[in-house]
Amino acid sequence: MAKSGVLGYPRIGAKREWKKALEAFWAGKLDEAELDRQLQDIRLQHLLKMKEKGIDFIPVGDFSDYDHVLDTATMFGIVPKRFSSYNGGIVPKSIYYGIARGMKNAAASEMTKWFNTNYHFIVPELDGVTPALTENKPLLAYREAKQLLGIEGRPVLLGPLTLLKLSKGSSELGIETWLDRLIPLYVQVLQALEREGVAWVQIDEPILVTECKDADVRCLQTIYEAFTASAPGLKFMLQTYFESVEAYRDIIELPVHGIGLDFVHGLEGNLSAIKALGFPSDKMLGAGVINGRGIWKASLSDNQTLLDELARYVPAEQLIVQTSCSLLHVPVSVQGETRLAPELRDALAFADEKLDELVLLTRAVSAGGDELATKLQRYDLAAQALRQSEVRNKQDIQQAAATLAIHEPKRGKPFAERTVSQREKWKLPVFPTTTIGSFPQSAEVRKARQLWRRGEWNGAQYVEFIRQQIERWIRLQEEIGLDVLVHGEFERTDMVEFFGEKLGGFAFTQHGWVQSYGSRCVKPPIIYGDVVFQGAMTVEETKYAQSLTSRPVKGMLTGPITIMNWSFVREDIPREQIAYQLAYALRQEVQALEEAGIGMIQVDEPAIREGLPLKEAKQDAYLNWAVRAFRMSVCAVKDETQIHTHMCYSEFHDMIDAIDAMDADVISIETSRSHGELIGSFESNTYSKGIGLGVYDIHSPRVPTVEEMTNLIDRALQVLDPNLFWINPDCGLKTRGDEETIAALQNMVKAALLTREKYQVTVK
């Protein structure tokens, strides 16, 4: 009989209990013992839920106090040298959270996207580190589940090849040298699990879907030969996800007992490989058929057809019906979503509902029969009803977006010509200073929003409150000495949710939270229908802010690709079409801002990189339509209207050409948390438009010094044109406090003044 398996479960809790516990600890309201107790309660509830649902392979060790990559690094004593108070042994929580969030005298480690998801991980730093096993976290997780709940869990480890490929510094000594150091430590972990009586271990190697060169294959052989020889009593599930594997022929020959493949996002490649090369008779196949990243009910009938096809190559007793990846990327449960339209709610499946899907589908594969077949067909009816609804069939919107996309969207004049008009209009100093958009959303701001949403304040009261916040921060920006101002976005909850609430075709959950980074949770909108522009969304606040100052105030919008990538989107049409519908709507907002007298408009695209397909062969097509959608949004403005955009926390070296093709007048990009490494991308790639490389990390509460910022600026000016260089923070400042924000911006302006004095550049 087939078995069911889950690769990981959301950490945050149905009501974000995990987030609240962490933040209470950081604020000094919980001691460490109480934090551990609360986190254990959450963890055990999740395990018990999977047990009661009837899942056969329950993951243990996937739960984290912050991030699973950070967990793996600290388990092996990989602590950056600048955290000098660490002297070996179990990494204390102060250091653990310091690596993630920064400490007074030590900057946080870099944070970047987990493959092509909206989850961020903490990048391990190997430079100068001598790894050592500090504690056996998978063993502790296994014991906890077995002793307290009677669960025979499947420990989850991040594999050594993926760990090294995602780390900084592995190339200094070479992957092979680092494997020589790490494999013995992994072996210690595995041998202890074997002695404990563990049956299966899940070793995640998602890096295998991105590349697998000959050298990587040799590394894999070394790794898994060492594992099986050292712990012969364990069974190893080599788990991949997010795409189809590379080097399938080599991977199926590895000395492991099971291979997990993604049959959602990697369906075409993985299925073709199995059809062409078969599947080993001595291994289990973890068939990831339930989408771990989407929120729609699965078509169980289609899934059964797929599994029936796989049965030609893999008998039922070798099959594990799994999620395609960890359920970390979806909300916990649909049960509390009482405000959604019934036709939408009935078509949704979050983590808990996906557990039910797994169990039902596994039963159907194992037992078959007319009754189960009928159940699957009935289950699929909700998705079919939504597909036929009016909200998904607005022909006027579909036609307008398609027509706009046919023609090449471009500005009236090339950048070299329109920048002259913009300089004449704005007369900004060299190295102009600005921020990315948002200012601190204090408890007072959040409370005001709640009072308004609960009806305790009327609209006029709320508008007046927002205006007071805007005026206060316009005055503060002027006092600090910023050159280009923003209104602060006090009326906005989330940079995507805000726009979704004002556009047709969107829906919003009450409790649909997912983890983005650390304790930062987001509640992605659901794009379930055709996108409809329903009126101006940002004009009122921006126009008011501009009326308060003679300095330019930027209009602030979220771009079409980011809205799409940070939402749960419909799956009945290609993502390209969704992007064009969003671009068509935002184009109308951009025009409304310009007509209201706003001459600088920032259309943020921080998520454009994370949508990049993992397979190189698919990347050009995505970038082409993503760039087209951005340009569709902004190309109708006048030459003197300055278009800004912003991107953050991603690798950009392989898409500089696409960034240039977006044709924004000014782009700001994160670089401080990656310690200026992005600057290296511009040493071999010419960029001739306005650019601001973020000079301090807003995700850390520490206030950077003027010297730190000027060092980053000096480094950037070695490869970038001073006449095109802007000075700004990495990202928006919504999550920071007033005092630290003001202090950091004051230092930033001082750094800009010193830079002007040092370089004595005259504006051309």
- Residue 159 lies in domain: 3-80+111-387
Whether residue 731 is annotated as binding a ligand: the answer is yes
Active site residue 699: yes
Specify the residue for token string 């390209």: 576
Residues 332 and 465 in one domain: no
Q: What is the pLDDT of residue 371?
A: 77
Domain membership of residue 93 (yes or no) is no
Among 526, 495, 533, smallest CA distance to 509 is for 526
Residues 741 and 686 in one domain: yes
Question: Would you state the structure tokens that stand for residue 331, as one six-digit string?
Answer: 């909300």
> Could you say which residues of the chain have pLDDT below 50?
none
Residues 379 and 466 in one domain: no
Residues 543 and 648 in one domain: yes
Whether residue 566 is annotated as binding a ligand: the answer is yes
Q: What is the pLDDT of residue 606?
A: 87
Torsion of CA 588, 591, 595, 599, to 10 degrees: 140
Among 665, 668, 659, 669, smallest CA distance to 642 is for 665
Residues 723 and 581 in one domain: yes
Q: Is the dihedral of CA 182, 188, 191, 192 positive or negative?
A: negative
Domain membership of residue 750 (yes or no) is yes
The answer to whether residues 401 and 581 touch, using CB atoms and an 8 Å cutoff, is yes
Whether residue 253 is annotated as binding a ligand: the answer is no
DSSP assignment of 163-187 equals: HHHHSBSHHHH-HHHHHHHHHHHHH
Residues 433 and 333 in one domain: no
Domain membership of residue 23 (yes or no) is yes
Whether residue 26 is annotated as binding a ligand: the answer is no
Domain membership of residue 611 (yes or no) is yes
Question: Would you state the structure tokens that stand for residue 562, as one six-digit string?
Answer: 């980011």
For the chain, the distance separating the N- and C-terminal CA atoms, rounded to the nearest angstrom, is: 74
Residues 36 and 145 in one domain: yes
**What 8-state DSSP symbol labels residue 722?**
G
- Those residues whose C-beta lies under 8 Å from the C-beta of residue 119, and which sit 6 or more positions away, are 113, 328, 329, 515, 516, 517
Residues 525 and 597 in one domain: yes
Q: What is the pLDDT of residue 190?
A: 98
Domain membership of residue 296 (yes or no) is yes
Residues 515 and 468 in one domain: yes
Q: What is the pLDDT of residue 684?
A: 65
Question: Would you state the structure tokens that stand for residue 283, as one six-digit string?
Answer: 């291994």
d(CA 24, CA 12): 14
Q: What is the pLDDT of residue 680?
A: 67
Q: What is the pLDDT of residue 488?
A: 94
Residues 463 and 320 in one domain: no
Domain membership of residue 105 (yes or no) is no
d(CA 431, CA 689): 13
Whether residue 457 is annotated as binding a ligand: the answer is no
d(CA 147, CA 748): 54
**What 8-state DSSP symbol labels residue 298?**
P
The catalytic position among 46, 68, 644, 699 is: 699
Q: What is the largest CA-CA distance in the chain?
A: 81
Whether residue 127 is annotated as binding a ligand: the answer is no
Residues 421 and 355 in one domain: no
Domain holding 20: CATH number?
Answer: 3.20.20.210
Whether residue 152 is annotated as binding a ligand: the answer is no
Whether residue 520 is annotated as binding a ligand: the answer is yes
Q: How many domains does the chain have?
A: 2
Q: What is the pLDDT of residue 642?
A: 98
Domain membership of residue 719 (yes or no) is yes
Residues 116 and 265 in one domain: yes
Domain membership of residue 106 (yes or no) is no
